[in-house]
Structure formats: C-alpha cells, structure tokens
Amino acid sequence: MSAGFSRTDGLLRCDGVALGELAERFGTPLYVYSAASVEAAYRAYDAAFAAVPHRICYALKANSNGALLRRLAAWGAGADIVSGGELAAALRAGFPAERIVFSGVGKTDAELQAGLDAGIGEFNAESEEEIRRLSALARRAGRVAHVTLRVNPDIDPRSHPYISTGLRENKFGVDLALAPELLRRARALPGIEVAGVQCHIGSQMTDLEPVAAAARAVAALSRELLAEGFALRSIDLGGGLGIDYTGEGAPDPRALAARVLPALEGLPRKLLLMLEPGRSLVAAAGTLLARVLYVKENRGKRFVILDAGMNDLLRPSLYEAFHRIEPVVERGRPRAEVDVVGPVCETGDFFARSREMEAVEPGDLVAVRDTGAYGFSMASNYNLRPRPAEVLVEAGVARLARRRETLADLLAAEVDG
C-alpha cells in the first residue's frame, strides 16, 4: 500500500488510521499529515538526483510544523527559509545551519544579522542593495556571507499568475543580463563570497519545459562566471514542481531530473545542485478534516457548510485552487452538485463551487485533500477563529503536532489601549 491517504471498507484512512477516529480524538477542523508520505516524497527527490551532488532544501513556507521539520532534518534535508521566524523554526528542528538557505525579496537587517549569527549556508540575495547591507553587517560581525544571486530569467512558468515569479514584471530576482556586472561588484565587497546563482520561476508547475529553460539559463550564467574565475560552489534551481491535485497526473522528481540534469552538463562535477521544493514534498501528505454543520438550499443551489473556513485553508479563495473533497465515510448516497463553503462572512469563503460529490448531511466528516502544503501555513485568525490542530500519523500512531488554538491565544497579544 502506498503511503498516505487511502480508502478501505468505505473509510478514508491515513496510513491505516481511520480519519473518523482522529476527528473524535482531536476535534475538527483538523489537519492530518502522513509522515510516511512526506518521507517517500523526500526519498524520491533524493534518488532522482543521486547522479550529482545535491541538496534538497525543503521550503518551510509550505508547512513549518516542527514535527515535519524534525523528520526532514533527520532524513538529511536542508531548509529554504524566508524569514527570521522560519530561521528559528529550522534551527529548532535541528537543520544544521550550513544546510539552510535564506531566500526572500525583503529581508530586514535583523533577519540578515540573525542568519549571519547562525552561520547559515547561503543567502539567496535578490538585489545589489541587499548584498551591500549584508556586506556591512558581515564586516561588522567579522563573518563571511556566502551569497547566491537570485536571477530573473523572464520565463513564463505557465502556472497561476499569483504564484509566477520568474517573469520580468515580477518583483523577484535581478535581471539575468545584469547579473555578471552585479556579481563582479559584489565579489569585491568585504565579507561577501559569491557562492552561485539561484532561480525560482514559479510554483505548481506541471509543464517542465519552463523549468528546463530556466536551468539552461542559470547553467549558462554559471559557466560564464566560472570561466571568469568566480569560485562557485553551488547552483540552485529553486522549487516549484507541481502536484496532482485533480487526478489528471503530474510530473514527479524523476521527470524533473530528466529535464534538469542535461541542462547542467559541462558544469564542474563538484558543483552542489540545490533544490527548494515545498509543495511537492508535503501537499499530498496532508488532509484538512472538517465536519458538515449545515446543508441548505437557496433557489435550487445546495450549500454544504463546513466548520472549516477560508481562514483555515485559503487556497481555493485566493487562487481558485482545486482540492478534492470527499466524505470520510462513503455511504453510497446519490451524488449531487453542491457548493462547499465555510462559516466565514465572505462570499469568497468557499472550498468548491458547483462540485459534484456524494451527498453529505450535518454531522458528516469531509476530507479536503492535498492540503499539506500552504494549508496551515497560510491559515489566519480571521473572524477571530482559532487555528486548527495538526496531527501527525506515523507507523499507524497519531500524535498531536500542534494543539488547537484557544480563545485565550487569540487575545493573548492584546494590551489595554
């Protein structure tokens, strides 16, 4: 049986554990993760790139639950972080500092300093100004910062516009053509060592041609820099591999390697290939479990109202993202077209619109699938709703990985104004 979620005897389970039991034990809404599924995804990446020196730096933004992070760190993954908060979470989970890369277009001085203090492996710089700030801070601290420059190759990832990052009009990276000049200046700065070039052109990419084109562009630039005497030690191709949300199929790490590795031919063998996958490691490993509160009809339209809302899972509202939604217990009821919505006071608070699914009734449990990535990590307290609990299932045992927030948590940071 493959790791993760599957149905036996009509019951949806996570690695053998019936989701209904988890709802009883931990309440709803509830995020449920399969450790085995994350491990299988990580190992698939590791195996796919075994032909070259590589490091899989998990992008914490997809899901920064400590239980998952500790396991990824133990399996040998590196970490791709974008904030001081993620730096703290990565260090706490046991990622060795030298396996941490710091990405992000707007790092503050305090965040750069924290990265320097921790001795992280690389800063993925996004502008010359950032490298200058880093140089000043590194010099003051008597440290050397290894910098990889994020370039913007102006390639369309053919994904949702909100998660496209590699086009000229996006705020990310620096113009590919200007990179050599910029790096010549950067190399002369005190406290800076140019370690390599990085790019990340988008997320949920299922067409690998743009990824291959970006890899070719970054490889060509790396060759040029090496020929000029830059002592590059890595090449970072970012994350972005899509997953199969709809059941129509999606490429896997092996397919990615088949497109990317040929682009790197001719580069020195010792160059470390870095990847920054987030979604493709954890999305399929997670399900959001929710209970049906009400089913109501409005002028012939049927609404299924869940106890989970857009504050718990924002992707459908923000990107019109598709997530499979299934009753946890299949009862063979007739199918019907419904809108699956949450309790939040927004028309945009929906999980699916005009979706055909088996009829459900108040009290039934439903599973919103493939929500291990950008689910909890994008959750908020909108409508003063406590964020859900998270549970990790490992070897048939379910453990709480983050308790449900309480009303006291929601108000804890307020001061008398």
Which amino acid appears at position 397 of this protein?
A: V
Q: Determine if 323 is a binding residue for ligand LLP (CB under 6 A).
A: no
Catalytic residue of the set 14, 57, 199, 345: 345
Q: Do 202 and 278 meet the contact criterion of CB atoms below 8 Å apart?
A: no
Q: Tell me if residue 199 is catalytic.
A: no
Q: Which residues, at least 6 apart from 231, have a Cβ–Cβ distance to it below 8 Å?
A: 193, 194
Q: Which residues, at least 6 apart from 241, have a Cβ–Cβ distance to it below 8 Å?
A: 205, 211, 251, 253, 256, 277, 279, 280
Site stretch for ligand LLP (CB under 6 A), options 183-191, 238-246, 263-271, 383-391: 238-246
Closer residue to ligand LLP (CB): 115 or 238:
238
- Find the binder of ligand LLP among 103, 148, 234, 371 (CB under 6 A): 103
Q: Would you give the DSSP letter of residue 335? A: E
- Find the binder of ligand LLP among 280, 287, 311, 371 (CB under 6 A): 280
Write out the binding residues for ligand LLP, residues 24-43 only, by CB under 6 A: none
- For the CB of residue 319, give the shortest distance to ligand LLP in the complex, in Å: 6
Q: Which of 7, 13, 10 is CA-nearest to residue 396?
A: 13
- For the CB of residue 245, give the shortest distance to ligand LLP in the complex, in Å: 10
Rounded to an integer, what distance in angstroms lies between the CA atom of residue 55 and that of residue 195? 15
Closer residue to ligand LLP (CB): 34 or 165:
165
Angle (nearest 5°) at CA 379 between 404 and 100: 100
Q: How many CB atoms lie within 10 A of CB 237?
A: 23
Q: Determine if 153 is a binding residue for ligand LLP (CB under 6 A).
A: no
Rounded to an integer, what distance in angstroms lies between the CA atom of residue 363 and that of residue 385? 20
Closer residue to ligand LLP (CB): 26 or 374:
374
Q: Determine if 62 is a binding residue for ligand LLP (CB under 6 A).
A: yes
Q: Do 3 and 34 meet the contact criterion of CB atoms below 8 Å apart?
A: yes
Site stretch for ligand LLP (CB under 6 A), options 29-37, 237-245, 338-346, 364-372: 237-245
Q: Do 398 and 385 meet the contact criterion of CB atoms below 8 Å apart?
A: no
- Find the binder of ligand LLP among 99, 200, 355, 387 (CB under 6 A): 200
Site stretch for ligand LLP (CB under 6 A), options 278-286, 340-348, 384-392, 407-415: 278-286
Rounded to the nearest angstrom, the gap between the alpha carbon of residue 311 and the centroid of all alpha carbons in its chain is: 18
Q: Determine if 163 is a binding residue for ligand LLP (CB under 6 A).
A: yes
Size of residue set near ligand LLP by CB under 6 A: 21
Q: Determine if 279 is a binding residue for ligand LLP (CB under 6 A).
A: yes
Rounded to the nearest angstrom, the gap between the alpha carbon of residue 128 and the centroid of all alpha carbons in its chain is: 26
Q: Determine if 286 is a binding residue for ligand LLP (CB under 6 A).
A: no
Q: Which of 54, 214, 191 is CA-nearest to residue 125?
A: 191
Q: Which residues, at least 6 apart from 312, have a Cβ–Cβ distance to it below 8 Å?
A: 29, 288, 290, 342, 375, 376, 379, 385, 387, 388
Site stretch for ligand LLP (CB under 6 A), options 63-71, 175-183, 199-207, 288-296: 199-207
Q: Which of 45, 42, 39, 46 is CA-nearest to residue 3?
A: 39
- For the CB of residue 56, give the shortest distance to ligand LLP in the complex, in Å: 11
Closer residue to ligand LLP (CB): 251 or 327:
251
- For the CB of residue 200, give the shortest distance to ligand LLP in the complex, in Å: 4
Site string for ligand LLP, 358-397 (x = CB under 6 A): ---------------xx-----------------------
What residues make contact with ligand LLP under the rule CB under 6 A? Answer: 59, 62, 80, 103, 163, 200, 203-204, 238-241, 276-280, 315, 319, 373-374
- Mind telling me the catalytic residues? 345
